Amino acid sequence: MNSLKNKIRRFVHVEDGLVTVEWVALTAGMVVAAVAIGFIVMNNTATEANTVGGGIPAAITSTFGSDAGAFANKY
């Protein structure tokens, strides 16, 4: 019984495991923050990306003329 009591006392007083738990919690928090920021950025830039993507064919046509596909196939 005394041995079990000593093991419990040592477990409560030794801080090595606590430091590991803190690092795991900090890392998990950073991962959650990165995922949240990535979601927000992707969600807010989707409209602008579609606008830019939709404007590319018009820019190619205005630069290379209506036969832009033939020009692209040459090179």
Q: How confident is the model at residue 64 (pLDDT cuts 50, 70, 90)?
A: low
- The Cα–Cα gap between 67 and 54 comes to 18
**In the chain, where the domains are located:** 2-74
What's the predicted TM-score (pTM) here? 0.49
Q: Which residues contact 64 (CB under 8 A, 6 or more apart)?
A: 71, 72
Kindly tell me if the per-residue pLDDT of 75 is higher than 70: no
DSSP 24-75: HHHHHHHHHHHHHHHHHHHHHHHHHHHHHHHHHHHHHHHHH-TTHHHHHHH-
- Choose between 14 and 3: higher pLDDT: 3
Over residues 12-50, the pLDDT tens digits come to 777 776 778 888 999 999 999 999 999 999 888 888 888
